[in-house]
Amino acid sequence: MTRELVVVGHGMVGHRLVSALRDRDTEDTWHVTVLGEEDRPAYDRVALSSYVDGSTEDELSLGTHDDPRVDVRRGTSVVGIDRADRLVRTATGETLRYDALVLATGSVPFVPPVPGRELAGCFVYRTLDDLDSITAAARAALARPTPGRRSAVVVGGGLLGLEAARAMRSLGLSPHVVEIAPRLMPVQVDEGGGALLRALVERQDIAVRCGVSVAGIVADRGRLVAQLSDGIELDADVVVFSAGIRAADGLARDAGLAVGERGGVLVDDRCRTADEHVWAVGECAALEGRTYGLVAPGYAMAQVVADRLLGGDARMTPAELDMSTQLKLLGVDVASFGDAHATTEGALPVVINDPVAGTYAKLVVSDDASTLLGGVLVGDASRYAALRPLVGSALPADPVALIAPGAVELGAESLPDSAQVCSCNAVTKGAVKTAIGAGACDVAALKACTRAGTSCGSCVPLLKTLLVQEGVEVSKALCEHFAVSRAELFEVVAGAGITTFSELIARHGTGRGCDVCKPVVASILASLGRGHILAGEQASLQDTNDRFLANMQRDGTYSVVPRVPGGEITPDGLIVIGEVARDFGLYTKITGGQRIDMFGARVEQLPAIWRRLVDAGFESGHAYGKALRTVKSCVGSTWCRYGQQDSVGLAVELELRYRGLRSPHKIKSGVSGCARECAEARSKDFGIIATETGWNLYVGGNGGFTPRHADLLVSDVDTETLVQLVDRFLMFYVRTADRLQRTASWIEAMDGGLDHLRAVIVDDALGICADLDAAMAAHVASYADEWAGVLADEDKLLRFVSFVNAPGTPDPTISFVTERGQPVPAPRTPVLIGIPEVGS
């Protein structure tokens, strides 16, 4: 006999509960009715802020339950529960009977009792409807004809408050965060981490006031004034309350169910209330008196209830109540795990604080420094995935060595099987190994059978490592949407003559694509000369910098880098660059690649700047693209008494030949006129050094995080042979390298390494050199300047505005001060010099 389950709430946890139940209910024991208050399908509330950045409701959707045994009723409010007769009443007067009732009502925003909080222009930050209202208010404010900076006050400096501040900045408002605690994110980070976090946030033109509260809000001439407890008044067009949440437990209270001292429906470790027919999960549930505001514990509760409804014996464990978090807020990495605040008796904090590099790391260890208890990471959270699973385990190395610059690497083998590799879904290393042993042979399969990696995704690199450790050859699939590698995808696009991403994914992929495959396909299409990168559909595929043909800087402005082949420039060219920088108020700097970089351009200024430069004969230097950047040169035999060949002439020839060539990663080159190597050619992807009889060609060098000298490929070749070999080297790299793989790692990963590369492009061992030669010739013949392409197209020019609803309005969040006679981003806080807590 089918039983009736009613789920009140259709958020992330309610959705997960229904999915988990239907996955396991092979006997069709339950018919499920879901009552959701919002008139929308369940969506990813963790990614709420991406809605402001352009993500659609469909992209945030968690999917629908396409199941005859699941009846989802959106826009349906529940007004009462009759526990005696097991009935649920809706606002429309409908009555539903249940055999089991699950409360997944989530939480409601906490709005402090501030006088004026009900005024127009005051909002909470919780749902898509809230964001729609905030967006409308921000646009209305920006459209006002009165002069002045448009601003927002965000009440709350926790996770949601900083997310709200970022959203306000994205909408064109100047945000001011007010936090009553003495630091930002007081729940997740400690004093030292909070100090650095504040400095990093303020560098992005977001003002922060900690240790004060909003005492009142008043209306003033069409705007709002937030009156702070220290007497300061802040003008605002929008006030957003994001000061925390409270469990939505009103239904439970009215039904006579017990609630916790601080709210939340009291449940036991089975997530069941005192009423054996009523359960509670997620933010509305108080497990042993405590509520949990993260999605991971909510998902664990959903799994427990699904198991219990089908006769299982699952219970919540302490590991499943892990409050560890890893976030990227305003571009700043923040992570905390375990006992982050060192509350355990005898706990010892070990701290490395580097305010110059903008990083803070703290490990909390036991009194004998043998066991990891917790930690905080700010600025660089790359070690979170390796450290968090070690909480409660013996330290594999000295704690300082685990977080210091150049820290020891922690492999998957250092983790015990009981360690959680995915805290969002409470998946242990042992569970992953079991899944691999049962046949899960790639990340997609592990996601499907364990749910690891399906939430925040931070554990995916560890999943790949575990696959390799267990002897599984990891798939080279580009992403879940394309089952082939980047090199194979290149051949598909080239061979089939495909010109758009939609055509490619329809014929050779699945789904809608992602931020991995879209830029890769954009690069491939550009490499094959399939149109301007901002033409039609291609514009939506580009990374941030390519989208505006300029490099975004930390304050939201852009840098403009015209091409200066070989570093050679005429006096007239220098004058034009100087005039452009002067007229647009730009900061200028000569780069290490012998070019002149102009910083501080607003997005709406870019076309006007390009027009001046293009008219003077300049073109895009592709400083923003995964493409050839520069060919650096010394003055060579033209001027230098040691020079053996014309290094400048060759550098100019090569840079003009390969300009605009899109590739898996950026490419840099150098040409030195003699062995003294003034152009530092051996630190480049391909470098050339003159000899008495010709040129030596070196390949596979790079600077950066892991510097590497290039290796000699051929020696004493003439110019014609040299250019032909560079042609082949670059086209072979473009066709066969993985995404974001520099030439150095490409050669190192190549079977046979440099010898194989030499056999392919010098000896034509694969018989493809004629094809590589033809491909490069086609690139050279089809090159067109991307800046000029935008200037000649009115549709493309429409993209270059700060605000689509007010095209002529400059971004009010951008401000400068003068240092050494040049404009630089206005600092918002003095540089940190240290914190009281010092690690040993």
| CA-only gyration radius of the chain, Å | 30
Give Cα 592 to chain centroid, integer Å.
28
Cα–Cα separations (whole angstroms), residue 81 to 73, 257, 267, 275? 17, 10, 17, 12
Residue whose token pair is 């409360």: 103
Helices 128-142 and 159-170 pack at an angle, to 10 degrees, of 40
Work out whether the CA dihedral 464, 465, 470, 476 comes out positive or negative: positive
Cα–Cα separations (whole angstroms), residue 649 to 643, 672, 686, 777? 13, 11, 17, 20
User: Could you tell me if 234 and 153 are in contact, meaning their C-beta atoms sit under 8 angstroms apart?
Assistant: yes
With 0-12 / 13-18 / 19 or more C-beta atoms within 10 angstroms meaning exposed / middle / buried, residue 222 is: exposed
Distance, CA of 197 to CA of 186 (rounded, Å): 11
C-alpha closest to that of 560 among 592, 617, 516, 603: 603
What amino acid is encoded at 44 in this protein? D
User: Could you tell me if 9 and 36 are in contact, meaning their C-beta atoms sit under 8 angstroms apart?
Assistant: yes
Q: Is 634 annotated as a binding residue?
A: yes
Q: Is 678 annotated as a binding residue?
A: yes
Distance, CA of 690 to CA of 676 (rounded, Å): 10
Q: Is 271 annotated as a binding residue?
A: no
Q: Which helix (H) or strand (E) holds 227?
A: strand 223-228
Distance, CA of 521 to CA of 537 (rounded, Å): 11
What amino acid is encoded at 15 in this protein? H
467: CB partners within 8 A, 6+ apart: 436, 441, 442, 443, 446, 474
Residues forming beta bridges with residue 338, ordered by sequence position: 374
Residues forming beta bridges with residue 690, ordered by sequence position: 695
Distance, CA of 744 to CA of 727 (rounded, Å): 17
Distance, CA of 367 to CA of 85 (rounded, Å): 56
Distance, CA of 414 to CA of 560 (rounded, Å): 46
833: CB partners within 8 A, 6+ apart: 355
Distance, CA of 479 to CA of 501 (rounded, Å): 14
The helix/strand count (H/E) of the chain reads as 26, 39
Q: Is 424 annotated as a binding residue?
A: no
C-alpha closest to that of 670 among 690, 641, 691: 690
Residue whose token pair is 């809000």: 217
Distance, CA of 434 to CA of 97 (rounded, Å): 41
Q: Which residues are annotated as a binding site for [4Fe-4S] cluster?
A: 634, 640, 674, 678
Binding-site entries? 634, 640, 674, 678
Which residues carry a binding-site annotation for siroheme?
678
